Amino acid sequence: MGKIFNVSADCKPNLHYMVDISGLLKSIKEFIDRGEYFTINRARQYGKTTTLRALKKYLQGEYAVVSLDFQKLGANSFENENTFSITFARFFLNTLERGKFGESNRIKDRMDELRERIRTDKEEFSLFELFLCLSRICEASDQPVVLLIDEVDSASNNQVFLDFLAQLRGYYIDRDETPTFQSVILAGVYDIKSLKSKIRTEDAHKTNSPWNIAADFDLDMSLPEEGIAGMLKDYERDFYTGMNTEELAALIYEYTSGYPFLVSRICKLMDEKIAGSQKFPDKKSAWTKEGFLAAVRILLMEENTLFESLDNKLIEYPELKQMLQDLLLKGRMIEYVPGDVGIRMAIMFGFITLDQGTAVVSNRIFETRLYNGFLAEKARHMEISQIAADEKNQFIVNGQLDMDLIIQKFVSHYTELFAEHNEKFLEDNGRCIFLLYMKPIINGKGNYYIEARTRTNRRTDLIIDFCGQQEIVELKLWHGNEYNNRGEKQLADYLESYHLKRGYMVSFNFNKKKEVGVKKVVMGDKVLIEAIV
pLDDT at residue 487 in the model? 86
Q: Region 29-45: what's the mean pLDDT?
A: 91
pLDDT digits (tens, 9 = 90+) for 299-342: 999 999 999 999 999 999 999 999 999 888 887 888 888 878 78
* Mean pLDDT estimate for the chain: 88
Structural domain range at position 460: 383-532
**What's the CA gap between 262 and 251, in Å, rounded?**
12
**Residue 345, in any domain of the structure:** no
Contact (Cβ atoms closer than 8 angstroms) between residue 334 and residue 358 = yes
pLDDT digits (tens, 9 = 90+) for 206-248: 444 555 556 678 899 999 999 999 999 999 999 999 999 999 9
Contact (Cβ atoms closer than 8 angstroms) between residue 13 and residue 53 = no
Whether the pLDDT of residue 201 is over 60: the answer is no
Alpha-carbon torsion (39, 42, 48, 51), positive or negative:
negative
Both 71 and 201 in one domain: the answer is yes
**What's the CA gap between 256 and 267, in Å, rounded?**
12
> Among 86-95, 449-458, 479-488, whose mean pLDDT is lowest?
449-458
Whether the pLDDT of residue 421 is over 60: the answer is yes
Whether the pLDDT of residue 199 is over 80: the answer is no
% of the chain beyond a pLDDT of 90: 60
Contact (Cβ atoms closer than 8 angstroms) between residue 310 and residue 317 = no
Whether the pLDDT of residue 503 is over 80: the answer is yes
Between 162 and 158, the more confident residue is 162
Both 463 and 525 in one domain: the answer is yes
Q: Which string of DSSP letters, residue by residue, matches 385-418? A: HHHHHHTGGGGEETTEE-HHHHHHHHHHHHHHHH
Whether the pLDDT of residue 203 is over 70: the answer is no
Q: Identify the band that residue 285 occupies on the pLDDT scale cut at 50, 70 and 90.
A: very high
Both 290 and 411 in one domain: the answer is no
pLDDT digits (tens, 9 = 90+) for 56-105: 999 988 999 999 998 888 778 888 899 999 999 999 998 888 876 656 78
Both 229 and 147 in one domain: the answer is no
Whether the pLDDT of residue 506 is over 50: the answer is yes
**What's the CA gap between 406 and 408, in Å, rounded?**
6
**Residue 422, in any domain of the structure:** yes
pLDDT at residue 483 in the model? 85
**Residue 85, in any domain of the structure:** yes
**What's the CA gap between 386 and 375, in Å, rounded?**
12
**What's the CA gap between 154 and 67, in Å, rounded?**
16
Instruction: Choose one of 146, 178, 211: the last residue of a domain.
Output: 211
Contact (Cβ atoms closer than 8 angstroms) between residue 35 and residue 182 = yes
Q: Identify the band that residue 450 occupies on the pLDDT scale cut at 50, 70 and 90.
A: confident
Both 74 and 166 in one domain: the answer is yes
Q: Is 506 helix (H, G, I), strand (E, B) or coil?
A: strand
pLDDT at residue 512 in the model? 79
**Residue 363, in any domain of the structure:** no
pLDDT at residue 424 in the model? 82
Alpha-carbon torsion (55, 67, 103, 128), positive or negative:
positive
**Residue 523, in any domain of the structure:** yes
Q: Identify the band that residue 205 occupies on the pLDDT scale cut at 50, 70 and 90.
A: very low
Both 199 and 273 in one domain: the answer is no
Both 205 and 231 in one domain: the answer is no
Both 88 and 143 in one domain: the answer is yes
Both 168 and 59 in one domain: the answer is yes
From the number of C-beta atoms within 10 Å of its C-beta (0-12, 13-18, 19+), residue 367 rates as: buried
Instruction: Choose one of 186, 211, 236: the last residue of a domain.
Output: 211
How many Cβ atoms are within 10 Å of 508's Cβ, its own excluded?
Answer: 22
pLDDT at residue 200 in the model? 41
pLDDT at residue 48 in the model? 92
pLDDT at residue 44 in the model? 87
pLDDT at residue 357 in the model? 87
Q: Count of domains in the chain?
A: 3
**Residue 313, in any domain of the structure:** no
Residue 51 CB partners (closer than 8 Å, separation 6+) = 21, 24, 25, 28, 40, 187, 221
Instruction: Look at strands 459-466 and 469-477 and give their pairing.
Output: antiparallel
Both 63 and 186 in one domain: the answer is yes
Instruction: Choose one of 302, 326, 353: the last residue of a domain.
Output: 302
pLDDT digits (tens, 9 = 90+) for 116-147: 999 887 788 999 999 999 999 999 998 999 99
Q: Identify the band that residue 1 occupies on the pLDDT scale cut at 50, 70 and 90.
A: low
**What's the CA gap between 353 and 258, in Å, rounded?**
13
Q: Identify the band that residue 348 occupies on the pLDDT scale cut at 50, 70 and 90.
A: confident
pLDDT at residue 302 in the model? 94
Both 248 and 119 in one domain: the answer is no
**Residue 333, in any domain of the structure:** no
pLDDT at residue 157 in the model? 56
Whether the pLDDT of residue 452 is over 80: the answer is no
Both 270 and 188 in one domain: the answer is no
Q: Kindly provide the residue ranges of all beta strands, DSSP E only, lying in 407-516, ordered along the sequence.
A: 446-450, 459-466, 469-477, 502-508
Of 72, 64, 236, whose CA–CA distance to 134 is shortest?
Answer: 64
